[in-house]
Amino acid sequence: MAKVPDVTVMPRRLTWGKRLVRLNWHLEPNNTCFLLPVKIALNANLVLLPGDGIGPEIVTEAKRVLEKIAASFGHQFTFSSHLIGGIAIDSCGDPLPQATVDACKASDAVLLGAVGGPKWDDPSAKTRPEAGLLRIRKELGLFANLRPIRLFDELVDASPLKREIIEGTDILFFRELTGGIYFGESGRNGSGAEETAFQSMAYSVGEVERIVRLAAKAAQQRDNRLTSVDKANVLEPSRLWRQTAARVMAEEFPDVKFDVVLVDAMAMHLINRPRDFDVVVTGNLFGDILTDEASMLPGSLGMLPSASLGNGGPGLYEPIHGSAPDIAGKGIANPLATILAAAMLLRHSLSLTKEADAIEAAVGKVLADGLRTSDLARGAAAIGTKAMTDAVLNRLA
């Protein structure tokens, strides 16, 4: 028998799992009376990991948007902030304290700013802020990093690329996130001119299969096209990647149009013919680099959100950009990537589609009204981080 979530009846309220159902009395013409659900609300425990540089500035703004959504739609979101990255190294010598891991694991979803900065860049330091981010992805089993490259119509002219090349671009990247070279064995040997550093790249068949399956399923919901990107002409792990991807696609997704592209050529095609791609699946390193490149299609790194998902636990949501130390503390960072990441959190972790749509629509309206942070202004008048968020809040339905 299907498992039914616990249902607790309360006066005019009912909780069903994490959902809170508000009820109103309904009176029939024959005077029978019953309770009718009028609104489904949600209790969610959200962890914020502001991190370093502009991280705290943009997470503060995205939290304001989530608070407004909670108030408008009748949800209850509980927020708790935890340490990650450089600030965590300064506080306790560890870029990912155990308390942060525990809080993330107990949460419904995690919203992260960014980590890193020049203060922690010493190559001989024992640890780095970025190690904290890699570890939390691994701890939560977040093997799939979804990076949508969505072009807001209003921003087509903000891109350094020509309108006729980019108009209509809509790509969804699936970047493998817990394997590959970022997690390979590394070290140094020897000294002086003989000193050698190494970092190995490995992928297993299972790691490739699970990300390719997810990407193929996403393609079936979109334009039914999947491109796998690798460097199979040189790298052994890429040859295994290509072989596995081709087999999974032939055996399980014969209806999806599938092709493979070498990563160096893909870097060029993205700029030359971005409209030709629907869903792209690739490894950790290639996905990291190609999506920063792809951020120039919508015009700024400050516009691209991402969702990191695993097998059912809490998802982690973050902008794709880093901690932008060059603009940290100036109040000018673009908060929209993080606000759009909050929309992805609502959609993917809390199944709050209407709420996610409302945020994305409000961002579209702000851009349509000509408001731009300095990364998008291209010399025209720009507004700051807080003013941009105020504008989104004012346009939230």
Ligand X SMILES: CC(C)CC(=O)C(=O)O
For residue 101, give the nearest of 143, 63, 56, 132 by alpha carbon.
Answer: 132
Nearest to 303 by CA among 288, 315, 291: 291
Rule CB under 6 A: say whether 288 interacts with ligand X. yes
249 and 258 Cβ atoms separated by less than 8 Å: yes
Indicate which single residue of 108, 130, 278, 375 sits in contact with ligand X (rule: CB under 6 A). Answer: 130
Catalytic residue among 52, 94, 288, 375: 288
**Number of residues near ligand NAI (by CB under 6 A):** 21
Tell me the per-residue interface mask from 322 to 361 with ligand NAI, x by CB under 6 A, - otherwise. Answer: xxxxxx-----xx--x------------------------
CA-nearest of 38, 115, 118, 128 to 84 is 115
Q: Decide whether 35 or 131 has the Cβ nearer to ligand NAI.
A: 131
Interface ranges with Mg ion (CB under 5 A)? 288
Report CA 215 to chain centroid distance, whole Å: 15
The CA-atom distances, in angstroms, between 252 and each of 202, 212, 245, 257, 278 are 24, 10, 10, 12, 19
In the chain, % helix, strand, coil (3-state, to 5) comes to 45, 25, 35
Binding mask 262-301 for ligand NAI (x = CB under 6 A): ---------------------------------------x
Q: Smaller CB distance to ligand NAI: residue 130 or 355? A: 130
Q: Does 320 bind ligand X (CB under 6 A)?
A: yes
Task: Report, in Å, the least distance between residue 286 CB and ligand X.
Answer: 12
Identify which range of 91-99, 126-134, 243-251, 384-392 contacts ligand X by CB under 6 A: 126-134
Q: Which range, of 23-31, 103-111, 127-135, 252-260, touches ligand X by CB under 6 A?
A: 127-135
Q: Is there binding between residue 54 and ligand X (CB under 6 A)?
A: no
Q: CB 20 → ligand NAI: shortest distance, Å?
A: 33
The partner residues of 39 in beta bridges, in order of sequence, read 22
Binding-site size, ligand X (CB under 6 A)? 5
Q: Annotated catalytic residue: which of 68, 182, 230, 317?
A: 182
In the residue annotation, 264 being an active-site residue is answered as yes
Catalytic-residue membership of 292: yes
Distance, CA of 114 to CA of 328 (rounded, Å): 11
Annotated binding site for NAD(+): 117-130, 322-334
Tokens for 310, please give them. 């695993």
Indicate which residue of 223, 292, 357, 390 is catalytic: 292
Radius of gyration of the chain (CA): 23
Q: How far is the CB of 320 from ligand X (least distance, A)?
A: 6
- Is-catalytic flag, 182? yes
- Which residue in the list 52, 63, 231, 278 is annotated as catalytic? 231
Which residue in 259, 264, 276, 369 is the catalytic one? 264
Residue 174 and residue 227: Cα distance in Å, rounded?
A: 10
Residue 69 touching ligand X (CB under 6 A): no
Give CA–CA dist 176/42, Å, rounded.
31
Residues in CB range of 109: below 8 A, 6 or more apart:
44, 46, 47, 314, 315, 316, 317, 345, 349, 350
Active site residues: 182, 231, 264, 288, 292
Interface residues with ligand X (CB under 6 A)? Answer: 130, 133-134, 288, 320
